Chain A
Amino acid sequence: RKEVEQDPGPFNVPEGATVAFNCTYSNSASQSFFWYRQDCRKEPKLLMSVYSSGNEDGRFTAQLNRASQYISLLIRDSKLSDSATYLCVVTPSGYSTLTFGKGTMLLVSP
């Protein structure tokens, strides 16, 4: 089983839609989790951290399910500008390494 797995997509959604991505991880010792966003041919940038109790940042909600070893990202009211690839990142305690998923591509259309 790969360390971090994501559905590559693409997820094609209309503007205004709600879309959710999941990311599964294999290392049960993983302690911290993040979502990064990468626009086409650009560098990845931190979108948000994922906290145990779940957290929101505007239209974005991140959730963690330790029992099933997955994290999720929910985007409400999708905008054209949300079109990007979303990378899941997992790290053990101490942040010694960051393990990146291959990403899920989102395409929001008018």
Chain B
Amino acid sequence: EAQVTQNPRYLITVTGKKLTVTCSQNMNHEYMSWYRQDPGLGLRQIYYSMNVEVTDKGDVPEGYKVSRKEKRNFPLILESPSPNQTSLYFCASRTLGEGTQYFGPGTRLTVL
């Protein structure tokens, strides 16, 4: 089954404790990205990647890191989480040149 998976689905952590949210897709998509979604603000892109070892900042990259060492994986790293990073996070992937984007199920992160 074609899908984007994310782990964990739910996470409660404390300020300053480094965490990683994993994302994996099995569709051989070149393009992967991370979004956060907050009430009233919609989906905001954090980082994206057009291929292995190619990453770029989206609209709200501060406080986040990503890496793309393999085509299928695109982890999101919060080196020192803060409460304002409490949000619903989605990973997504698509084929370059197409508009159909597939989203993971989301990770609900709470930073205390």
Contact = CB atoms under 8 A, between A and B. Distances in A.
A101 B100 CA distance: 16
Main secondary structure of the interface of B (DSSP, over half): loop
A72 interface: no
Given A41-B108, A98-B94, 17 more contacts: A32-B99, A41-B88, A42-B105, A44-B43, A44-B101, A46-B101, A87-B43, A89-B99, A94-B97, A95-B94, A95-B96, A95-B99, A98-B99, A98-B101, A100-B42, A101-B42, A102-B41
30 contacts: A8-B40, A34-B99, A34-B100, A41-B106, A41-B108, A42-B105, A42-B106, A43-B90, A43-B104, A43-B105, A43-B106, A44-B43, A44-B101, A46-B101, A49-B99, A87-B43, A89-B99, A95-B94, A95-B96, A95-B98, A95-B99, A98-B94, A98-B99, A98-B101, A100-B42, A100-B43, A101-B42, A102-B41, A102-B42, A102-B43
